[in-house]
Amino acid sequence: MKYVISIILIALPLLFSFKRFDRVTVHPDLSLSDPDTFPVPSNVPKLLFYIQRDPNTNTIVYELNQDERGQISEKQPVHTFWIRYPEGGIRKDLNYLQRKFAYGINSRALGNGVFELRSVAYSKLPMYLRRDVKNQYHVYTDINNKKCMLSRVFIRIDGGSFWSPNVLYIELKGVDIATGKTVVQRIKPS
């Protein structure tokens, strides 16, 4: 039984895949959940952005990775971990499969403390980790053709299989750096 549970836990991160196979039913109340009602990570002083998705409120947090002197890690500028709200808000690091195939970030130093970031699961969207005018790091990307500071990603899942959920859309939410207004865009994966 422990072996079966271990296999299931290892396989869970693959739910982010965009392939479509057999359909399974998602609980109707969960598929209609409003991402604005999900908990927002708090007590994460170096929070960059976070991902939430159906079918639960477990949250993947992306925070600035600095050493004890406050220097950013050149090799791994972003630290990623879970906040498992249904389990009392405990924090857990991503496992190998989650980092490499679902929720990890690939980074490339561009110089002057700027990094290009790409999601391992959806590499089409370039993101940039850089300082603002107050010397604070943020992640920037284009949302609805506007230069924005990214705050949240929500993934809407409706059925699919255990290994390949049916991703209806990926919703990006951020703040337009020119106007300060909230900008939201939905991307439909192909």
CA distance 86 to 153: 19
Q: Give the model confidence (pLDDT) of 124-183 as tens digits.
A: 999 999 999 999 999 999 999 999 999 999 999 888 865 677 889 999 999 999 999 999
Q: Are 171 and 184 in contact (CB under 8 A)?
A: yes
Count of domains observed in the chain: 1
Q: Give the model confidence (pLDDT) of 20-46 as tens digits.
A: 222 233 334 444 578 999 999 999 999
CA distance 35 to 21: 26
Q: Are 41 and 79 in contact (CB under 8 A)?
A: no
pTM score, whole prediction: 0.81
Range of the domain at 100: 2-187
